[in-house]
Amino acid sequence: MIAYKLFKVRKDGSIGSLFFAAKDKLPTGIWLKAKSLHKKGFAFRPGWHTCCLPYAPHLSLRGRAWFRVRIKGWKKHVRPVLQGGTWYTANQIRIEDRINA
């Protein structure tokens, strides 16, 4: 299934997650398995967090960009529109390409 994810974009062009394992450089074009990570101050929701649209008004776009991704083994979550609306946690993700959102 196609979804969208906001990633941190570094000066060298590499991308990484916003909050968890943020120092990891994530490759494009290959399937990545989700890790079950805990972080103080965050609800435990294991999986790659993705959106059905490139829209999450509660998150800053500064130093970040939206990417089209493919996901496997996903669970749907319905949240308020101001928190991005419908989103998914996925067991696997493949980062496809950067989009202009």
In degrees, to the nearest 5, what angle opens at C-alpha 91 toward C-alphas 11 and 36?
75
In the chain, the amino acid numbered 26 is L
Confidence (pLDDT) at 101: 55
Confidence (pLDDT) at 61: 92
Six-digit token string for 24: 């990891």
Domains held by the chain: number: 1
Are 71 and 50 contacting, i.e. CB atoms less than 8 angstroms apart?
yes
Most confident of the ranges 26-30, 33-37, 51-55: 26-30
Confidence (pLDDT) at 98: 96
Residue 83 in 3-state DSSP? helix
User: What is the span of the domain harbouring residue 83?
Assistant: 2-98
Mean pLDDT across the chain? 89
